[in-house]
Amino acid sequence: MDERLFEASRKGNTDTLLKLIEEDPLILEDNSTHTSVETPLHIASLHGHTDFVRYILSQKPGFAKVLNSKGYSPLHLACANGHVDIVKELLKIDGETDHELCRRKDKKGRTPIHLAVIKGRDRVVAALILACPDSVREVTDRGETILHLTVKSENGCKRLRGLLEGFEDKEMLNWKDDEGNTVLHLAAARKQHEVLKFLLEQPELDVNAVNSNKLKALDILGEGPNQSNDQEVVQMLHLASMPKPDSQALTELSQANDAVIDVDTKTNDLTSKRDTKNSFKGLVEMRRGIMVMAVLIATVTFEVALNPPGGLWQDWGASVSNDTHRPGKSVAGEISPNSLTWFLVWDSIGFLASMSIILVLTCPSKLNWNSVSWEYIRLMMWVVIASVHMVFLYGVQMTTASNIFKRAVIAPFVFFYGVVGLLAMRSGWYSVTELGDLVKELWTKKKR
């Protein structure tokens, strides 16, 4: 390229270009006769000179299709650098049916929209999709779609959300690159928790897709060092990957219930993902609440063990048993040793149960409503509740007169558990009645 023409293109100086053309009318022709060269349109598109580009296109529209030594067209360069006005000018000369410029690939098999996504040029991406909607389905030489490239870019979640909102057909969510990875695999490998949560909201997503190494996204997320918030996403992936009920089993029911079955099937299909999501949210909220409760009870039980009811002796002196008491020893240990013993027994049980709950909740595991860990937590919750009751009773007993203790503490406890017992008996009676009705129904069917 003529050095003066190159400099005019770099600076976007249209006046200089006009003078050069006046001096040598064939100066632009010299640049169009070679393949894989850098044309003035490449230079101007790279540097963002819209007026210069507009004039070059009016004189030599064929320059828009020329590729430089790296396989870049002017549209590639404009897209990569975010020059949306130049992109629009170049798209004006693109065919309305074949969209040749939008589909042109560089030496790595990347189209202009791929470069725009890699560089995070959101406005350019929007302009390309509007001009050529089918360009979103192009893949690179490595089989990567724009969704794969979006997940690899900065602010991947925001850009992925913006792309998918404009997609009517979201089958690309499950497209795989040359290594068999979907966008879910890439997000899991990069531990992009926001992206994973957003993807799991998409009904079209295949959570159980495997890559070339036979790994699911859940398997990949478990590899490498764990992060503090990995557990929440692991639970979401685990719940989403659970098999759904087989709808074919519904065909074995009687014809009289066919209409009802159809309605139920449709309802289940529409609400299954929502129910799974709500169930997981309930589990997460429950875990947080239990963690707060366990930490609080562990703190309180630790504190009262070091500062028992009645306080500690502050000086040396004669004790009730005629021994000399020492500073720092429990007063209740001299006055009510049996009560203090049971107080500390139940306090220790509550402390250990709370600590075990904290340990289970902080260890990485696939915690769900039916897991062994969750059953253990439920059991420890009952142990904690029972121990807190007993600690309260023995603590008040040691610091309250006997007649006041019976009226103010024992009486409310008896009344409360009496009501709870009646409700439990009522619930149990209903359960027994329902069981009896079920047995009777089965017996009747067997006779028939």
Amino acid letter at 380? M
The domain boundary, picked from 399, 421, 439, lies at 399
**Per-residue pLDDT, 262:** 45
> Is 374 within the bounds of a domain?
yes
Is residue 421 domain-shared with residue 378, that is, in the same domain?
A: no
Same-domain status, 58 and 133: yes
Say whether both 53 and 132 belong to one domain. Answer: yes
Across the chain, which has 448 residues, the per-10-residue mean pLDDT values are 81 84 75 64 91 89 88 92 92 75 90 91 89 87 90 80 74 88 88 84 86 86 67 76 53 41 43 51 71 81 75 61 59 72 83 83 62 76 83 78 73 72 67 69 66
293 and 371 together in one domain: yes
Hey, is 312 helix, strand or coil?
A: strand
The predicted pLDDT at position 76 comes to: 93
Instruction: Answer yes or no: are the C-beta atoms of 7 and 49 closer than 8 Å.
Output: no
pLDDT at 250: 39
Domain match, 374 and 420 both: no
The answer on 414 and 303 residing in a single domain is no
In a domain? residue 205: no
Instruction: Say if residue 381 is in the same domain as residue 417.
Output: no
For residue 314, what pLDDT is reported? 66
Output the domain CATH number for residue 3: 1.25.40.20
Q: Which helix (H) or strand (E) holds 47?
A: helix 40-47
Domain that holds residue 378: 285-399
φ, ψ (nearest 5 deg) of residue 330: -70, 135
Residue 201 lies in a domain: no
Q: Are 56 and 126 in the same domain? A: yes
Tell me which of 89, 107, 138 is where a domain ends. Answer: 138
Query: DSSP label at 319?
Result: -
Question: Is there a single domain that holds both residue 354 and residue 323?
Answer: yes
Tell me, yes or no, whether 304 and 368 share the same domain.
Answer: yes
Residues 303 and 380 reside in one and the same domain: yes
Query: Cβ contacts of residue 194 below 8 Å, gap of 6+?
Result: 157
Q: Are residues 389 and 438 in the same domain?
A: no
Angle at 238 between CA 232 and CA 241, to 5 degrees: 140
Residue 157 lies in a domain: no
- Judge whether 264 lies within some domain: no
When divided into structural domains, the chain yields a total of 3
Torsion of CA 88, 89, 91, 93, to 10 degrees: 160
